[in-house]
Amino acid sequence: MRIGPITLASPVVLAPMAGVTNVAFRTLCRELEQARVGTVSGLYVCEMVTARALVERHPVTMHMTTFSADETPRSLQLYTVDPATTYAAVKMIADDGLADHVDMNFGCPVPKVTRRGGGAALPYKRQLFGQIVAAAVRGTEGTDIPVTVKYRIGIDDDHHTHLEAGRIAESEGAAAVALHARTAAQRYSGTADWEQIARLKQHVQTIPVLGNGDIFEANDALTMMAVTGCDGVVIGRGCLGRPWLFAELSAAFTGSPAPTPPNLGEVADIIRRHGQLLSEHFAQTIVTRLARERFGGKTDRDQVRLDKAIDRQCHRS
C-alpha cells in the first residue's frame, strides 16, 4: 500500500492513541514484529499532539514527538480546530524535519471535545473541515510529506458525514483517509459498521481508504479488507495487551506462517522490555502505571503475576 510517496509492505497502521503510542510502545511493537517475522512493514503512528501546543513548542508536547533513531517512516498525528494554526504546525513539522507523515485527527469522540465542535464533530462543519485539510496540505509544499485524515462516520446515527468528508479530503489533497466505523455518540461501544467503510471506498476513488474498528486478530483484518474492499487497516484497541499483533498481521498479509503466540514467560519478558523502554522515555515514577495500562485484560491470576514482574523490573531499574 502506498500513502503518497511512502510504500508499506503491509497495509497496517498503528492507530495513534493518546497516552499509548509513545516511542516506547511503538518501539516495542516494531521490535516484536522484527523478532517474530523478520519485518517492520507497517506504519506506526505517534500519539496525538495538539497543533497549538506544537507551534508554541510546549516541552511536554515536544517530548511526545520523540522518535527512535531507526524509526522510519516517522508518523505524527495532529489535533487541530483552525486552519491558521494547522498550517503553522504542519509547516513547522516540515521545516524542522520532525516527521515524514502527518495524520489529522477528526475522530476524537470525547464529549468535552465534540461539544465545542472539535474532534469527531468537526467534519459536520464541511467548509471548516476542508479549510483545515487544505491548510495542512499547503504546509507541506516543497516536501514529500503526505497528509492523511482519520475520522468517524459522524456525530450520531442522524448525522453521518463520512462520505462528504472523504470527498472533501480527497479534493483538498489528502493522501489517504481512514474511517473508524462508529459514530461519535457510540464512542467505543457496540459493533463497528463495516458497511460504512465499504460505502466510503466506493465514494473515494483516487486515494487509499483504510478501515478501523473491531480488529482484534489477524483474521479480522483480512475479513475487513475482503468484505469492504478497503486498502488497509488501522489497529487501535486490538493491540492493547497484545503488541505482538503486528507480527501476526504481517505474516497474514504476506502469506507467511503465523508466529506462535507468546507464552506467559515470554509475555513477562515483553513487559520487562516495555518497562525498560518506558524508563528511558519517562520518569520512573509512572513506569508501573503505564505498563499495567498497556497489558490490561488478563485474568486476575495472570494480572497478579504480570504486576509482580513489572514491579520487580521497575525496582531493578
As annotated, the active-site residues are 108
- Nine-digit cell at 94? 516540515
**Rounded to an integer, what distance in angstroms lies between the CA atom of residue 150 and that of residue 143?**
21
**Rounded to an integer, what distance in angstroms lies between the CA atom of residue 243 and that of residue 54?**
28
Q: Is the peptide bond before 73 cis (omega within 30 degrees of 0)?
A: yes
**Rounded to an integer, what distance in angstroms lies between the CA atom of residue 225 and that of residue 243?**
21
Q: Cα angle at 146 between 149 and 171, to 5 degrees?
A: 60
**Rounded to an integer, what distance in angstroms lies between the CA atom of residue 142 and that of residue 129?**
23
Query: Considering Cα of 286, then 288, then 289, then 290, what sign does the dihedral take?
Result: positive
CA atoms within 13 A on the CB side of 300: 0
Chain center to CA of 1: 16
**Rounded to an integer, what distance in angstroms lies between the CA atom of residue 233 and that of residue 56?**
33
